[in-house]
């Protein structure tokens, strides 16, 4: 990774370009309240963030990225439409010693605009693509809205769909659930024993309640488990169609054609596919070579969990390097943090340290 001075110089160059594009520079505290991040991502975030305790503010985390605090700031008192840019250090735990750093500079550009979300998607992608064009990176796109629409369209219990949606950013757990809901793997042994005791009219146990759940919540959970056990498996055809989408990758025009064909059997995805078509037109109008733009339907499923639509990343030839730039749409996050308000939003970030490194190698 470039020396700090080189990374900062590159960050300043990128910030100047974002300001020229109309973005207002903003700051975010390095220490962020852990409660907000835990509410958004659950306990999984602890594996990726540095956690500390403040005697006055309680549990805090070193800033894992800028998007959440920028959304909070905008939803609190931001005017519409708005464009923001920022630069600073972010912190991510690494499980192994690699070229990926636990502390690095990040520069970002965020757009809050309800007038034309498709145009905003194209604006962010094209701006970032132009700034790093000399590096000849590989761009990859995806659309999580297509995946979530496919799940919502399944003919099964709402509780099953909710479980799949909750784990869509955890591919292994998602696959395990899909296999179980599709009847391809058995119910876990402990759950099978519990269901058998309930069917026999035996209470689950006589020990006093432990934890935060009330007796009513426990009873509701047991009822939900019984309803799930009694429900028919998701049809094999539906599981196969969903898996086909999950594993699909192609150049964007071919991907669009294939997804339009899939929408005949999965009408729930048709609106999202229509937005993808409009976005490709908008990207082409911005000068993006969409004929050679890669699309992977599962792209973005292992990033932070606020993306819910168009996603993208730019990659160097070295597979050990993290994405040089990435981003996407996060409309739902503004709803969660907006206290009753929401606005379509999309953004992207660049790692200036890697940009500086790659320029030095050229």
Model pLDDT, residue 46: 79
Instruction: Check residue 85 and give its pLDDT.
Output: 98
- pLDDT average per 10 residues of sequence, the chain (362 residues): 81 97 95 85 77 88 91 88 95 72 91 96 98 96 96 95 91 93 82 67 57 65 68 93 95 97 96 98 98 95 82 94 94 88 94 92 69
What local confidence, expressed as pLDDT, does residue 206 receive?
Answer: 52
**Residue 48 confidence (pLDDT):** 78
What does the pLDDT read at residue 219?
65
CA 130 remoteness from chain centre: 23
* 131 vs 359: CA distance, rounded Å: 12
C-alpha–C-alpha distance, residues 199 and 221, integer Å: 15
The H helix count followed by the E strand count for the chain is 14, 12
Burial class (CB in 10 A: 0-12, 13-18, 19+), 174: buried
pTM of this structure: 0.88
Token pair belonging to 13:
């160059």
pLDDT at 146: 96
d(CA 284, CA 281): 5
Separation of alpha carbons 46 and 95, rounded Å: 12
């Amino acid at each position: 990774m470039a020396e700090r001075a080189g990374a900062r110089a590159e960050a300043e160059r990128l910030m100047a370009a974002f300001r020229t594009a109309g973005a207002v520079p903003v700051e975010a505290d390095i220490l962020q309240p852990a409660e907000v991040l835990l509410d958004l991502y659950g306990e999984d975030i602890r594996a990726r963030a540095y956690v500390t305790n403040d005697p006055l503010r309680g549990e805090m985390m070193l800033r894992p990225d800028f998007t959440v605090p920028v959304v909070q700031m905008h939803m609190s008192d931001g005017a519409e439409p708005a464009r923001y840019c920022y630069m600073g250090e972010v912190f991510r735990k690494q499980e192994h010693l690699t070229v990926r750093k636990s502390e690095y500079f990040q520069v970002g550009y965020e757009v809050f605009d309800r007038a034309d979300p498709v145009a905003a998607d194209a604006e962010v992608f094209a701006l970032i693509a132009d700034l790093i064009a000399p590096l000849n990176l590989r761009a990859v796109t995806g659309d999580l809205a297509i995946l979530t629409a496919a799940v919502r369209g399944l003919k099964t219990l709402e509780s099953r769909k909710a479980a799949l949606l909750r784990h869509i950013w955890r591919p292994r757990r998602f696959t395990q659930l899909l296999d179980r809901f599709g009847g391809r793997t058995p119910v876990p042994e402990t759950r099978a024993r519990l269901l058998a005791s309930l069917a026999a009219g035996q209470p689950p146990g006589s020990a006093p309640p432990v934890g935060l759940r009330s007796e009513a919540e426990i009873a509701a959970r047991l009822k939900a488990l019984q309803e799930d056990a009694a429900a028919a498996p998701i049809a094999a055809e539906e599981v196969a169609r969903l898996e086909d989408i999950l594993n699909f990758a192609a150049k964007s025009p071919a991907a669009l054609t294939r997804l339009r064909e899939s929408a005949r059997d999965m009408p729930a995805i048709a609106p999202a596919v229509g937005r993808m078509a409009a976005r490709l037109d908008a990207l082409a109008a911005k000068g993006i070579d969409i004929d050679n733009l890669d699309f992977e339907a599962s792209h973005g499923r292992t990033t932070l969990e606020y993306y819910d639509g168009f996603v993208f990343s730019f990659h160097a030839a070295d597979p050990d390097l993290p994405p040089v730039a990435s981003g996407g749409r996060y409309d739902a996050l503004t709803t969660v943090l907006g206290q009753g308000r929401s606005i379509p939003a999309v953004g992207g970030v660049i790692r200036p340290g890697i940009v500086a490194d790659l320029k030095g190698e050229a």
